Structure 1
């Protein structure tokens, strides 16, 4: 079985998990939520297996590289990181409703990678600029950071949804976790994302120096990575120094994730040294 087939199956598992989480939330059925958790877990295992098999296939083809160098592979790893992080959060806090917001993001990543006619899943050799031991460190840290921001984005949406929650009234809104828990988790996810994004920028700068002879060149991807870093740094500073909580933090987190998406996908449409990311 090829890695592409396994990852295609993973796409449907993530889609099933997202659907079941939404059904469990709407109809308030914990049993369906447990099935959704199982589907997401199996999907994560499939995601890991497909990622590992693709790495093996790369060695068999003589390329010998980690599957982290193009848009298809980065989307696969992004989905993997999101689901892994989310399942840890759900296992620890036990709120299935979060899956109705998070799992659709992972499904969309895999669906875009697996079903878009504009994205090739062929294994290709590395471009000369990418042949470095810094590849894994840079990409992995960046995408763990992106995953943290993605989960924070979903939790922030839930914070905004909480305005419809009525105390003592049974409805779909009553299944939403308490605002203080969502706010705390959002802060923790933003902190995680910020730390890993910082590590990603540093490792990218070292890699850029070895590949192109300079640490920083104001390439569109570099510039927007810095903009994203400043947005989340401002959010963390405002929380620490100004005591930001609740909806203000949520709105800022959502705006930050918009910057993440533009850094990841939008700048690929612009000419630059990172244009290979659109392949």
Structure 2
């Protein structure tokens, strides 16, 4: 029932985003309000798609509050209107935005799974089994799910950044402009590159990987929100 409710909500939310995009003549992600709303929608859509494969409904109990938080944040931000621009209709921009939002949604799932892992591990070590214990998957399965989310998300993040650099090269005649969001995005990319390297070559698993997945998504939030709202640059000019 909860899965079906999320599905219906995602369908209506997606229709609203399409309608908004049609009204403004460009993908509705140019303001902070729109970007947060789009991310909340993408997070639920990615979860629903993964749920069909994994049959892990307890994950929805962690993903849904995240989506609600992002939607509430989008409503609390001051209303803003970004002028219609041909710049936002570029195929590079669409590729850049789509890849990064899907990647960030996968990283949010890895974050949620990391939290679930730490909760499960704590209950097992303390032998204090709460109401969540019977509903949580095994530690091994949680670690595997987090691993696959990262493996799928990292190439998408890389593709999104490359598309962004290509677009910047066309618009500003340079792929790198020392924009705050560019710097923070590169730092976040390095965090996930390090995590994947340690997982694939060193064999990091369990607690370390869970904490780093949580730390990585925290960096995503700093990049996604901090650069847009607090720091001046090309991206802040386009999303406020």
| CA deviation after TM superposition for structure 1 residue 141, in Å | 0.9
Give, in whole Å, the separation in 2 of the partners of 1:119 and 1:173.
42
- Give the superposition deviation at 1:57: 1.6
Match of 1:156 in 2: 114
Q: What TM-score comes out, normalization by structure 2 length? A: 0.92
Are residue 142 (structure 1) and residue 103 (structure 2) matched?
A: no
Equivalent residue runs for 1:256-271 within 5 Å = 256-268=216-228, 269-271=230-232
Match of 1:273 in 2: 234
Gaps of 5+ in 2: none
Structure 2 match to 1:215? 175
The answer to whether the 8 Å contact 1:142/1:196 transfers is yes
Could you list the per-position Cα deviations for residues 218-252 of structure 1 after superposition, in whole angstroms to 9, with x for gaps in the alignment? Answer: 21100111100110000000011111111110001
Residue 46 in 1 paired to residue 50 in 2? no
TM-score by length of 1: 0.79
Shift of 1:98: 0.9
State the alpha-carbon separation in 2 of the partners of residues 213 and 176 from structure 1.
Answer: 51
Describe how 1:82-93 pairs up with structure 2 within 5 A.
Answer: 82-93=43-54
- 1:68 deviation in Å? 2.3
Question: Could you tell me how far 1:74 is from its partner in structure 2?
Answer: 1.4
Write the deviation string for residues 26-45 of structure 1: whole angstroms up to 9, x where unpaired.
Answer: xxxxxxxxx21111001110
Bigger drift between 99-108 and 131-140 goes to 131-140
**1:75 maps to which of 32, 36, 45:** 36
Taking only aligned residues, the RMSD between alpha carbons, in angstroms, comes to 1.9
- The reply to whether residue 133 of structure 1 matches residue 99 of structure 2 is no
Equivalent residue runs for 1:245-264 within 5 Å: 245-264=205-224
Q: Does 1:181 align with 2:141?
A: yes
C-alpha separation between the residues in 1 aligned to 2:186 and 2:201?
A: 22
* Higher relative contact order structure (alpha carbons within 8 Å, sequence separation ≥ 6): 2
Name stretches of at least 5 consecutive residues in structure 1 with no aligned partner: 1-34, 59-63
CA drift of 1:183 comes to 0.5
Match of 1:17 in 2: none
Residue 172 of structure 1: SS of its match in structure 2?
coil
Query: Do the aligned partners of residues 232 and 56 (structure 1) sit closer, same or farther apart at CA in structure 2, a change above 3 Å counting?
Result: same
Asked if the contact 1:137–1:203 (Cα under 8 Å) also holds between the matched residues in 2, the reply is yes
> C-alpha offsets along residues 90-118 of structure 1, whole Å, 9 cap, x if unaligned?
222222211111111111111211x2152
Contact 1:165–1:174 (CA under 8 A) maintained in structure 2? no
Deviation at 1:130, TM superposition (A): 4.0
Give, in angstroms, the shift of residue 81 of structure 1: 1.4
